[in-house]
A and B are shown apart, each in its own frame.
Chain A
């Protein structure tokens, strides 16, 4: 498959997963809303959790459902959106580097990698993976600097990169700091920071939706630009 075809296939997979993730969010929310309506209409229920020993009835479940919808569900799907974005971006860079490995010409790899490789492609893949693993630990803004060093795509915009940096910083706080903003969050999020260190970082529905829409747009923009440039660089 050509580089263009590979990027297009990679993009289709990511966009499909993004839509599935958002459908999962809305459909799961719908299920909880139906439960809340059922109780609001006078319905009774009792749930025994044999593992924890907890018992939930119609008295507690509507409130718990609200917590699940507004916090747990929003948080888990938001993390999924960001993971898909990373998968997309690093996937494109991997495909590009494998097609045009010259930019890694001055990089060093250990002899053991060469000795263990079955062929030259395996050496290339090891070099590319190492390069991208190192990049993955850097800041979002550096990811795009790197990408545009490989091929100037003229996207995303500076404003979009700032928003993506804040989104990634929110994801990191959610995963590593139980949703409480830290000084690291403030530094990564920059001027678009939504909380001070020590404050709870919420994922309101509007923010959740905006993040999904931005990620989808940037995926489409990068893909379109990269496909247009593939074969011309």
Chain B
């Protein structure tokens, strides 16, 4: 934990303000736990103000709704911490969901699970190879595969939706285990697995290292190309799994399943405090952000807010959450300038003097 930090060297841009040793770093606190605190606050406020929010059925539906973006966001957290991202998850999700539903129809649940996840992994491998081996920037590479997979999905499905409502299959999207919806349980499992990989394995540490500074990681002996490729495979695997859950939830899947899904996933991860520049981020934040988005939609629905207004609110929340740090730093800068006019007895410590 670096909450109690000693100097401000992590933002190269920031002026070396005279922050005393052992001051609480509000930016880092906000980044780590901000979303969680906000989510819990919103739950309290909504519980008090919105009739129909605080009951078990509604909680179940909020948690279930959070899972479909959430599972994919677990994978995307890996990618964004590594300093890349994947725009193709929306197309991948549509293709995998269609494949899962179709396979479940003929072969059963387990083969459907395996094919959806494996297909996601293969797509991830393609993305990863394009980025790590051919060295196409991730934005363009995954933009290209996004169009490619989207087109392929329409060709393979012929524009038709696949439907299947077999009991064992739709159980994965609709049932409950001990009052918890199955997709949410899967989501939590994924998040725990993801956190374990990120925090407890060398692969996880490599991801943080690459995200902080690619060149330095390379010089230090981190297998950059291999790790980057694997990161995209991870994104694909989780997206495939999430796609199967969504297919099971809807009893069906077709091309154009969820337009703009990729941007929702990225927004969730970033709202959870993961830096788009890479190198910093947490799984807890991603889980909290996924639940926060689902809660917002639910509360707005319960208050009969227009669906169009909801979009505006969601965008505003994203912008507000991300501008908190900038605004706080501006205020701090302004404040330190005012303080600096008063002659100080002790010289402020600079980062390089510590």
Q: Verify that A and B bind, or say they do not.
A: no
